[in-house]
Structure 1
Amino acid sequence: MTKPRVYFRSFFDRLIISSSCLLCGQPSRRPLPLCQGCEQDLPRPMASCCRCAEPFCWRNPTLRISVTASGTLCGRCLKHPPAFDRTLCPLLYEFPVNWLIQNYKHHFDGCSFNILSELLLRHLQQHYGSRSPWPQLLIPVPLHPKRRFERGFDQAAELVQRLGNALDLPVNTLSCKRRLDTPQQQGLDAKQRRRNLRHAFEVDADSLQLHSKISHVGLIDDVMTTGSTAQALSRKLKAAGVEQIDIWCLARTPRERIKGI
């Protein structure tokens, strides 16, 4: 799907049905096609690892209250620090967030895209600013050309363009490539995912550092499950000279939903 068609469809979807909430069908009474009640009910991590965004306590109110310190690392990241430095995501990959993401990822539903990108944008604006410097460059997790052709668009590339325009940050979609058309990650356990992504990515260090020294990158994807994709690509980016990598994603899959980790 070309960029003009994507923007036209997003505009058309907003024009026709943005007055109603996409989830409950009631009037949203706001520009976003999501009413205030449904937005408040979306599953969100109350406390999570600052590095991998793994929720510390999922659906356990007592434990949620006991974990309040910001910047806390999970045991997994303490024992085996990942190549990336932090992960920012506003939502948990639970219903109805998983439904919204599937609508966006496989059908490019314009309303789902608007909701998800706006929620991520708000989350990022709350985190950065005076507290932390913004990345110098935004990079989407690359999609293999064959998969892009089959799907009709690249969900991470569309998301990174929306974020780059909204935040006035430069975007690079050329330096990172997916050279192997690996099998779908869905349904694989952690070990299979790591094996699946071995040698899948390549980074052109010369084009990445072409105009100026890039030391801080924002890497954008739709969902983080085990972190295998972020880890594989972050290793390549660190080898290319990047010093800090922030992962931006729409949602994080709770550990209870992942097998074999």
Structure 2
Amino acid sequence: MHCQPPCKEQVYNWLNNDHECLLCNEATEQPYPLCVACEAELPWLEDGCQVCALPLPMRGLTCAQCSRRAPAFYRVEAPWHYGFPLDALISRFKYHSQWPLGRLLAQLLGRWLTHRFSEGLPRPALLLPVPVSRRRLRQRGYNQAGMLAQWLAGQIQISSNEHLLKRLIDTPAQQGLKASERKRNLQQVFAVEHSELLEGRHLALVDDVLTTGATAQALASLLLSAGARRVDVYCLARTAKPGST
């Protein structure tokens, strides 16, 4: 069985060398391998639901689903919507072990959150990465959410704990499932360990992409039942509603 890779060692050389942009190969003149022009062209999420960050046509709106029934999580913070070239960067990190890309995305997410905290977003007490099953961890060798949370914790100075949430059942992959199928897929899948550590605390779940929100809803409900005061979701990207542009 593979262990979670030592994130700091894997990206040490990358962090301490002159950078070329990972998208256009030009010199970046920035402390990370992404030039100003390519960073500006990332699919920034400017107009999203105030609760779940679903891309919407105007700023300051709440989507129909969150208006009908508020989710268990309080709000989602995502810098981008899931589009090109960000989708390719996440895929290369998640499925092809290209960890420097994950480190870059975590650094940009940390900058985004630091800005949001300066605007008044309440800081959580603890980061909790979305867990993966033991079988998937053996196959892939790492949990991308755990790596993101570890890098993010160092940047925004908030502790991360990978051991408080467990995935009990190895369900079929969520990708490609409808919203209703995702909810059924996640019934009684997760568990909390050491719930006394969560009592009355503001928590933030960390993941790469939020699609329907079914996983975030299941975990937030579980954490609130275990005594958490508030649960937010921090992710790299939010997908659009199926069929929308």
Q: Same fold (TM over 0.5)?
A: yes
1:106 aligns with 2:92: no
Alpha-carbon distance, 1:2 to partner: 4.7
Identify the residue that residue 50 of structure 1 maps to in structure 2: 50
Q: In structure 2, how many angstroms separate the alpha carbons of the residues matched to 1:21 and 1:113?
A: 14
1:78 offset after TM fit, Å? 0.8
TM-score (ref. length: structure 2): 0.92
Q: Distance in 1 between matches of 2:78 and 2:104?
A: 14
Structure 1 stretches of 5 or more lacking a match? Answer: 58-66
Structure 1 position 15, deviation (Å): 4.9
Report the alpha carbon displacement of residue 194 of structure 1 after superposing the two structures with TM. Answer: 1.0
* 2:222 counterpart residue number: 236
What TM-score comes out, normalization by structure 1 length? Answer: 0.87
Q: Secondary structure at the match of 2:231?
A: strand
2:152 is equivalent to residue 152 of structure 1: no
What's the CA shift string for 1:13-33, capped at 9, x where partnerless? 4456x5211111122122211
Where do residues 28-43 of structure 1 align in structure 2 (5 Å cutoff)?
A: 28-43=28-43
1:193·1:228 contact (CA, 8 Å) conserved in 2?
Answer: yes
Unaligned runs of 5+ in 2: none
Moved more, 129-138 or 77-86: 129-138
Task: Give a deviation string over 1:163-182, Cα, whole Å, max 9, x none.
Answer: 11222212222121100001
For 1:86, give the aligned amino acid: R
CA RMSD of aligned residues (A): 1.9
1:111-154 deviation digits (Å, cap 9, x = unpaired): 31122111211111111146132101111111111111110111
- Who is 1:183 aligned against? 172
Answer yes or no: is the 8 Å Cα contact 1:208–1:214 preserved in 2: no
Distance in 2 of aligned mates of 1:177 and 1:31: 35
* Residue 199 of structure 1: aligned partner: 188
1:85 aligns with 2:71: no
Deviation at 1:256, TM superposition (A): 3.3
1:119-134 aligned within 5 A: 119-129=108-118, 131-134=120-123
Deviation per CA, 1:204-251: give whole Å up to 9, x if none: 3xx1324x7442101111100000100111111111011211100000
Where does residue 21 of structure 2 map in the other structure?
21
The residue identity in structure 1 corresponding to 2:228 is V
In structure 2, the CA distance between the partners of 1:158 and 1:10, relative to structure 1 (3 Å rule), is same
Shift of 1:257: 5.5
The alignment of Structure 1 onto Structure 2 pairs a total of residues equal to 243
Secondary structure of the residue aligned to 2:232 is: strand
